[in-house]
Structure 1
Amino acid sequence: MPIGSPSSLVRPAGSGRTGASTVTHRGRRRDTRRGRAERLAPYVLVAPAVLIIVVLRLWPLVLGVNFSFTGDGELNGTPVGLGNYLELAGDPLFRTSLRNVGLLVLLLPVAVAIPGLLATFIYLRVPGHRVYRSVYFFPAVLSPVIVGAIFNLMLGFDGPLNAVLGAVGVGPVDWLGDPGIAMFTVVGVHVWATFGMALVVFLAGFSTLDASLLDAARVDGASLRQIIWHVIIPSLTRTIQFVFVTTMIGMLTSMFGLLFIMTSGGPEGSTYLPEYYIWHEQGQMNRPALASAASTVLFVVMLVVGLLQITLLRRAGRQD
């Protein structure tokens, strides 16, 4: 048939519609695959982190809790029920460590307020803010061993601090040998050594603060105390919650180095914390099952304290 004949230009009925439907069907399948891939992408990206947490965190936690219900020594691996937990309840050193946890909770607002105020001074550029900005992070880069050794020299009975107190007519204080004040001394050193990280978090929170609120407060004649209480604190509620929880976790799990160097749990066991107790039972007494029970109790304490803190701070934020 000649190429230019009318018959060659005639297409079978419905051929155009079939081609269009085929293209549409392929497009729908492509969109379906793209949509499925987009839905799966977050899970694929999160999967490695979740796997690491499960393998390195949750699974050891489960094993530790299970191990805490077994015995030590001759009863190694033998189920003993709540025997280890009952022994912890009757151990004066462990009870002292839990009382010290209560002391840490009471001192926690001070540990959070110090970096919070310093961050506020830096943000508001009060006199001396350049000094704070220059040196605030220096203690955080020091090893706890170095910090403990330095303060052992400074706070010794014949150390420079007592020499200064003696010069002004105040008797020497046994900072690390008096059971009534030794724990306060170690906590104070820990706050000094670690407040730099919390201060960095506060400075990051200030970057989200609406500067117009501060300008309005200044125009209204608000004092520094009123600006902090009525503007800054309500605006940084989430940051404060985060710092409270992380600071509490750090105080419960990161003071071993200072305790070991400065007091070794003394005097008279007054500076024991659950973390130090766990090390003592595991490393010194070779009682891993009892140490696992103490670790489980510490985990529960941190969980309860953290949830209570978040609940109270959220309620306070809603009231403001």
Structure 2
Amino acid sequence: MAAPSLSPAGSVVSEPAGARRRTRAGSRAERLAPLVLVAPAVLIIVVLRLWPLVLGVNFSFTGDGDRNGMMVGFDNYLTLFSDPLFRTALRNVGVLVLLLPIAVAIPGLLATFIYLRVPGHRLYRGVYFFPAVLSPVIVGAIFNLLLAFDGPLNRLLGGLGLGPVDWLGDPGVAVFTVVGVHVWATFGMALVVFLAGFATLDSSLLDAAEVDGASFAQTIWHVIVPSLSRTIQFVFVTTMIGMLTSMFGLLYVMTSGGPEGSTYLPEYYIWIQQGQMNQPALASAASTALFLIMLVVGLAQIGILRRAAGKED
């Protein structure tokens, strides 16, 4: 049955029912198309990420050894926070958070110089990214030689009259040494992200700042930082995640958690409990704690950066 409708001339014409059904079917397909396209990615995330996460959290409430498979409540978490090594790992997480602005500022400034086409910027682009393709084991082995107590760096310092530094044997220095090596080895990826962000920067803003007589520091703070606020947020979060979850190779090769456990991070502690102490439930509890730390720190960083960007606007 056809429904009546008005033609442009004002006369009544009928619209076929089949056409209406096809129109409704077409609109329904348009609404469902995005869901169909997103479904495979969502399924992969749920199956390979969220479901294992739920299983890991549940496993953290079970026991090890004689109590394997038994629900023990929060016993594993109480054991964690009473373990001096885990408390040291948490303290080192605080050190990472304090050093994070430096780890982000270095690639940000270098990307700024490359964007402004300083002499040799094409060479610098390749040189800065090169360490990112090296294996952490190779990087650790190289710096073990360079930073040895009788290594080249200490010989250079000795020639300058500054005396040797026990870079990897002093508990107060070792963690900063490993973090510094990690930043050197990974800042190339953040550099690429910053360069991608600069591709969206309106160059007229830089021209206006130059006309107004803004200094280089003022241009960075009042033009570049607000324009790249989302890029900076992304680099902050990914750099923090990288520090918390990608330093195992360096730690294992350079210090093995020493000296005196001073370079322990949650990631290394998890491996020790799972791989050497055969305490998978305790390792799961440490993994859950690490996940919560990353979640809280990441959300806090995003909130702080958004408020800073809002004040700048």
The TM-score range, normalised by the shorter chain, is: over 0.9
Work out which of the residue numbers 48, 54, 57 in structure 2 matches 1:65. 57
**Given the alignment, which residue of 270, 280, 283 partners 1:288?**
280
State the partner residue of 2:181.
189
For 2:27, the aligned partner's letter is: G
- Counterpart of 1:110? 102
Match for residue 38 of structure 2? 46
Deviation of 1:128 (Å): 4.2
2:190 is matched with which residue? 198
Deviations 1:139-161 (A, max 9, x none): 00000000000000000111111
Task: Please identify runs of 4+ aligned residues in structure 1 that moved more than 3 A.
Answer: none
In the TM superposition, what is the alpha-carbon distance from 1:220 to its structure 2 partner?
Answer: 1.4
Query: Counterparts of 1:126 and 1:275 in 2: how far apart (Å)?
Result: 39
Distance 2:287 2:139 in 1: 26
Of 80, 93, 99, which aligns to 2:85? 93
Q: Counterpart of 2:131? A: 139
Give the whole-Å Cα distance in 1 for the aligned partners of 2:18 and 2:203. 53
Give, in whole Å, the separation in 2 of the partners of 1:172 and 1:130: 36
Scaled by the length of structure 2, the TM-score of the pair is: 0.95
Match of 1:119 among 111, 118, 121: 111
CA displacement 1:71-112 (0-9 Å, x = unmatched): 000100011111000000100000000000000000000000
Aligned-pair distance for 1:315?
A: 0.2
Q: Match of 1:171, as an amino acid?
A: G
TM-score normalised by structure 1 residue count: 0.93
Which deviates more from structure 2 when the two are superposed, residues 84-93 or residues 124-133?
A: 124-133
Deviation at 1:133, TM superposition (A): 1.5
Partners of 1:105 and 1:24 in 2: CA distance: 66
In structure 2, what residue type is equivalent to 1:150?
I
Q: Give the aligned residue type for 1:39.
A: R
Structure 2 portions without partners, runs of 5+: 5-12
1:4 alignment partner in structure 2: none
AA at the equivalent of 1:114:
I
**How many corresponding residue pairs?**
305
Correspondence 1:171 to 2:163: yes
Unaligned runs of 5+ in 1: 1-13
Q: What RMSD, in angstroms, separates the aligned Cα atoms of the two structures? A: 1.6
Alpha-carbon shift at residue 130 of structure 1 (Å) = 3.3
Return the offset for 1:236.
0.5
**What CA distance in whole angstroms lies between the structure 1 residues aligned with 2:16 and 2:307?**
54
> Residue 174 of structure 1 aligns to a residue in which SS?
coil
Q: Aligned partners of 1:299, 1:318: CA distance in 2, in Å?
A: 28
Letter paired with 1:178: D
Between the aligned residues of both structures, percent identity stands at: 80
C-alpha displacement of 1:131: 3.3
Query: Structure 2: how far apart are the matches of 1:280 and 1:143?
Result: 21
SS of the aligned residue for 2:281 comes to helix
1:134 positional shift: 2.7
Question: Matched residues in 1 for 2:240 and 2:20: separation?
Answer: 53
Q: What amino acid is the match of 2:304?
A: L
Which residue identity does 2:193 align to in structure 1? V
